A and B are shown apart, each in its own frame.
Chain A
């Protein structure tokens, strides 16, 4: 069984401020973790993913996330928010097995608002 909890369905930050979007997961096996971003009226696109290599993962557009097993967390951060970061962000988890279909469970999403 697996699940994802995203704390805060809406987050507002000022332009230039730190972005922190929280994601906690539950998984009965070692997980693979993902962050996707959805811009208005578009599909989801991958920001970054953790696949049991380095615990600090760097993604596109200056985002990064750190896998913390002891806290079962995979929070997304960006040092300085830009207006173009306004979007909805989804955390996702799947079992870290290889081969065969493995279900991906998505969180409910966090809408990020960037205030000028």
Chain B
């Protein structure tokens, strides 16, 4: 049982390049989330998904797109990377949408945009 995995672990991009971050979970969780973590700002939600085929915007969605074609996978895309998108990106999942449900986090992807 691998939990939540993220690919890649680290990436360097040039401004304007595109890339896709992959998140996979093997816990049959319904909900999945993408966060970014920046110093002094905690975690901020980019997008989330309440089930296969559905996505919704979080608090900082601009410049990102997501897809959830399969229940176990949640992809985060950067169409045209900008230096402001330099961050650590975390994927998380939770089993049900109930308020007390724990979120399980992946190990993170460090992205540097030059």
The interface of chain A, by Cβ under 8 A from chain B, is: 9, 32, 34, 36, 41-46, 49, 51, 90, 94-104, 106-109
Choose one: A34, A51, A107; the contact of B42 (CB below 8 Å).
A107
B100 CB to nearest A CB, Å: 4
Q: B105 — which chain A residues lie within 8 A by C-beta? A: 36, 43-45
User: When the two chains form the complex, which single residue of B43, B56, B99, B108 contacts A42, counting CB atoms closer than 8 Å?
Assistant: B108
In the assembled complex, how far is the CB of residue A89 from the closest CB belonging to chain B, in whole angstroms?
11
Docked CA distance A42–B105 (Å): 9
A42–B107 CA distance with the chains assembled, in angstroms: 5
Known: A43-B105, A98-B99. 18 other contacts (CB 8 A): A32-B99, A34-B102, A36-B105, A41-B108, A42-B107, A43-B92, A43-B107, A43-B108, A44-B43, A44-B90, A46-B103, A90-B42, A95-B99, A100-B97, A101-B50, A101-B56, A107-B42, A108-B41
Contacts of A102 in B (CB 8 A): 97, 99
Specify the main secondary structure of chain B where it touches its partner. Answer: strand
Q: Is the CB of A96 within 8 A of B42?
A: no
Question: Could you show 6 A-B contacts with beta carbons less than 8 Å apart?
Answer: A32-B99, A43-B105, A43-B106, A44-B90, A46-B102, A99-B97
Chain A residues contacting B90 (CB-CB under 8 Å) are 43-44
CB atoms of B4 and A96 under 8 A apart: no
Complex CA distance for A103 and B56, rounded to whole angstroms: 12
| Nearest CB on B from A3, distance (A) | 11
